[in-house]
Amino acid sequence: MYEAKWTKTARTTYEDLKAKAKERRDARIKKKTKKSTLDEGLFKQVAKTVSLLIDDPRHPGLNTHEYDSIENPYDKMKKVFEAYAQNRTPGAYRVFWCYGPNKKQLTIIAITPHP
């Protein structure tokens, strides 16, 4: 199990997704609709991905692999990884992360839709 550190960008994105999901859920409940909205589903997937990362960054469901286009914020010689929050979806969301800055810590660098 790892302790999660967040960049300001990643934290802001996560909180924005969470707020949008809550807003949509509240509106859905007010209308007495049972089916979840896309925003609710997206946040649930991103939150699950973050949870799995913290528990086991090598979990097979994350499809974690090295990503070269983002630089490690702590050590330019160390790797940055990409984990899938969604798959086979246009603009599927990804979570970019790295190990560190200390042992048993990982840093969530960004949460973005796949280009």
Residue % of the chain over a pLDDT of 90: 90
Mean pLDDT across the stretch 86-103? 93
Residue 115 pLDDT > 70? no
For residue 83, give the CATH number of its domain: 3.30.2310.20
Residue 11 pLDDT > 90? yes
The pLDDT tens digits of the residues spanning 24-80 come to 999 999 999 899 999 999 999 999 999 999 999 999 999 999 999 999 999 999 999
Mean pLDDT score across all residues of the chain: 94
DSSP strand E in the chain: where?
Answer: 3-6, 65-67, 80-84, 93-99, 105-113
How many structural domains compose the chain?
A: 1
Q: Which one, of 45, 56, 57, lies nearest residue 86 by Cα?
A: 45
Q: Please give the residue range of the domain that contains residue 42.
A: 3-113
Strands 105-113 and 93-99: antiparallel
SS3 for 37?
Answer: coil
